[in-house]
Amino acid sequence: MLTIGVVAIQGAVSEHIAALEKSSKDLDCKIVTIKRAGIVPHCDGLIIPGGESTTISRILRFEGIDKEILENKGIPMMGTCAGLIIMSDYKNERVEGLGLIDMQVKRNAFGRQAESFQVPLTVTVFDSPFDGIFIRAPAITHIGDATDVLARFEKYGVAAQQGNKLALAFHPELGNDLRFHEYFLRLFDFDR
């Protein structure tokens, strides 16, 4: 059985769970929430939802979840919005990214909450556009050699992948299009 953990500190946790349940209906899959240490080591994959990156970063450190994520960094992971920041190399006095994907990011690159928007994105791994929902979204400003940009908006990258790590500046869990959750599930090695 595949166990996928959803970091349940903040953000659209229930929406990610619902999208995973729909996307994994043909798999033997269990979805668990992660609010404390001790759960990540039992997960085969992980989703870090959006929310406020300062709060998520602090609670991950306080609970010791950050260390468990780093100790299990070989598993597939997807981060959305603030989750993208947490997966990146971003660091300031309040937020410490985990460096899971070699990329630099800019927080709130597209404006405040009132300036949220939805836009069709050309995604390199999909045959048709994906409607990205941007809410106080970050943006990718630089990637390392091992990282691929999967989608761009304006001058920024808004979706990236490095191996089995997927980072999105937008919220795929808030729409009805399940392709990013389905793509995430394809990152698992089912032959192990």
Give catalytic residues, as residue numbers: 81, 171, 173
Radius of gyration of the chain (CA): 15
Tokens representing 183 are: 């793509």
What DSSP state is assigned to residue 76?
Answer: -
Run of H or E residues at 57? helix 53-63
8 Å CB contact between 45 and 5: yes
169 vs 103: CA distance, rounded Å: 12
Q: Please, is 81 exposed, middle or buried when counting C-beta atoms within 10 Å of its C-beta (0-12, 13-18, 19+)?
A: buried
Tokens representing 117 are: 């928007």
Q: What is the 3-state secondary structure (H, E, C) of 122-166?
A: CECCCCCCEEEEECCCCEEEEECCCCEEEEEECCEEEEEEECCEE
